[in-house]
Amino acid sequence: MAVGAQAEPAALDADALIDDPRTRIIVCCGSGGVGKTTTAAALGLRAAERGRDAVVLTVDPARRLAQSMGLTELDNIPRPVPGADTAAGGTLHAMMLDMKRTFDEIVEAHADPDRARQIFANPFYKSLSSSFSGTQEYMAMEKLGQLRQSDEWDLIIVDTPPSRSALDFLDAPKRLGRFLDGRLIKILTAPAKAGGRAYLRLLGAGFGMFTGVVTKVLGAQVLKDMQTFVTAFDAVFGGFQERAEQTYRLLQTQGTAFVVVAAPERDALREASYFVERLDRERMPLAGLVLNRVHRSALPELSAARSLAAAETLAQGRTGSAAAEPAEGRGLTEAALRLHADRMRTIARERRLREHFTSAHPAIAVAEVPAQPEDVHDLAALRRIGAALGGGSAEAGD
């Protein structure tokens, strides 16, 4: 039984969410290290085993978790997950995002072969497609749009990239757009277009000043590369922006549900708070919060204080004048009581953090997943987590 089951806000019922055929997309988001990928995988497995045709799109999963789903390489192709129980008529596929390939494909789709070659060879494109911090987010959304459009799966579960901050994921498409659109393009393409120069004059900045700075600091080759890049990209970019907007609108529709994932730690819950507020502002449909790694006790009625006091009594008995008494079981019991006291303090801290969150966001439904005694890297463990999310009682672990 959960400790502190009173003062419970609405419980997030993951089964109702995944069983509802209108749910077509679930986006798992949250800060790094809170178990986003695990949650996405567990939801996917449970949905498939309850009859959905589900696909899990992961971004950079831990190796052993990926292996548990039969994924061995980044290849952008959804693969069937071996071991998923298909008795209920569902299926489970999983794929790892290859962000560079996804980007290349978009360029190929929007540019003629000559221009595409030019873009691929440009150092700015190489950087943008492989290491720009927003690209992964953007490409995850792009891939999501593609999967949705293909209509091969009736439920897509996306695990968002481990962003620098939770907000990157919503901002990335716009940020990318800002670079590839607007003023900068006009400036960089100025030598080619008379309009660019006029635009600079309007801003009171001379083109000479701009090229002067860039050439001085970066060198003339860089300026040339930058210009080639934006000129080549300019032609491709219209399609880009349009697609980003489409995906954005797709996220706002009824069929999408956001699940914010957190661990009962201060930083993770603070990020979760930001996320909840942001999703609300952007009118994104939020299903609730998944709180991973929550500690439980098999003995909630024995408080930390009483447990510690009892441990002290035993410790004194061992060293004090009463040492003549039989010591049988004292060492073991003292250790057990101290462990229990630590656990109760941890539980109390986690509850405080959770209450802090729910009092700020009383309308947000919450599902708790107990801390597992062992790391999650097989389907059985994913199934246990799925059961906890679905409201079934999962084994209280560590």
Please provide the DSSP assignment of 223-234 as one string: HHHHHHHHHHHH
Q: Residue 128 or residue 232: which is nearer to other proteins going by CB?
A: 128
Window of 17-25, 83-91, 97-105, 121-129 that interacts with other proteins by CB under 8 A: 121-129
Binding-site member from 254, 298, 319, 320 for other proteins (CB under 8 A): 298
Indicate which single residue of 162, 177, 239, 391 sits in contact with other proteins (rule: CB under 8 A).
162
| Residue 22: how many other CB atoms lie within 10 Å | 9
CB of 211 to other proteins, least distance (A): 11
Q: Which two structure tokens, joined as six digits, stand for 68? A: 């548990």
Among candidates 36, 1, 22, which has minimal Cα distance to 285? 22
Q: Which is nearer to other proteins, 182 or 392 (CB)?
A: 182
80 or 177: CB nearest other proteins: 177
| Distance between CA atoms of residues 96 and 256, nearest Å | 21
CB of 152 to other proteins, least distance (A): 31
Is 127 among the residues that bind other proteins (CB under 8 A)?
yes
- Cβ proximity to other proteins, 110 vs 340, nearer residue: 340
Nearer to other proteins, 132 or 237 (CB): 132
Interface stretch with other proteins, choices 16-24, 147-155, 247-255, 296-304 (CB under 8 A):
296-304
**Rounded to whole angstroms, how far apart are CA atoms 322 and 319?**
8
* 3-state secondary structure string across 296-326: CCCCCCCCHHHHHHHHHHHHHHHHCHHHHCC
Site for other proteins in 315-334 (CB under 8 A): 317, 325-326, 328-334
Q: How far is the CB of 341 from other proteins (least distance, A)?
A: 8
Query: HSE-up of 25 (CA within 13 Å, CB side)?
Result: 29
* Of positions 234, 297, 378, 391, contacts other proteins by CB under 8 A: 297
Note whether 291 and 331 are within 8 A (CB).
no
CA distance linking residue 59 with residue 157, whole number of Å: 11
In the structure encoding, which two tokens stand for residue 393, read together?
A: 């009682």
Integer Cα distance of 39 and 31 in angstroms: 13
Strands (E), the chain: 25-29, 53-58, 79-80, 91-96, 155-159, 256-262, 286-294, 366-370
Single out the residue of 103, 132, 138, 357 in contact with other proteins (rule: CB under 8 A): 132
We find the least distance from the C-beta atom of residue 148 to other proteins, in angstroms, to be 28
Binding footprint of other proteins, residue count (CB under 8 A): 84
Nearer to other proteins by Cβ, of 253 and 316: the residue is 316
φ/ψ bin of 356: left (φ > 0), alpha (ψ from -120 to 50), beta (otherwise): alpha
124 in contact with other proteins (CB under 8 A):
yes
Q: Which is nearer to other proteins, 165 or 252 (CB)?
A: 165
DSSP state of 371: P
Residues 310, 301: Cα–Cα separation, whole Å: 14
Based on the shown chain and the rule CB under 8 A, indicate whether residue 311 belongs to the binding site for other proteins: yes
Q: Return the range that interacts with other proteins (CB under 8 A); candidates 94-102, 143-151, 234-242, 337-345.
A: 337-345
Q: Which of 342, 351, 378, 391 binds other proteins (CB under 8 A)?
A: 342
Q: Which of residues 220-239 bind other proteins (CB under 8 A)?
A: 221-222, 225
Tell whether residue 374 is a contact of other proteins (CB under 8 A). yes
Q: Is 65 in the site for other proteins (CB under 8 A)?
A: yes
Q: What is the DSSP string of 89-130?
A: S-EEEEEE--HHHHHHHHHHHHS-HHHHHHHHH-HHHHHHHH
Residue 72 engages other proteins in binding (rule: CB under 8 A) = no
What x-and-dash track marks residues 13-42 binding other proteins by CB under 8 A?
Answer: ------------------xxxx--------
Is-contact 139 99, C-beta < 8 A?
yes
When asked if residue 267 is in the footprint of other proteins (CB under 8 A), the reply is yes
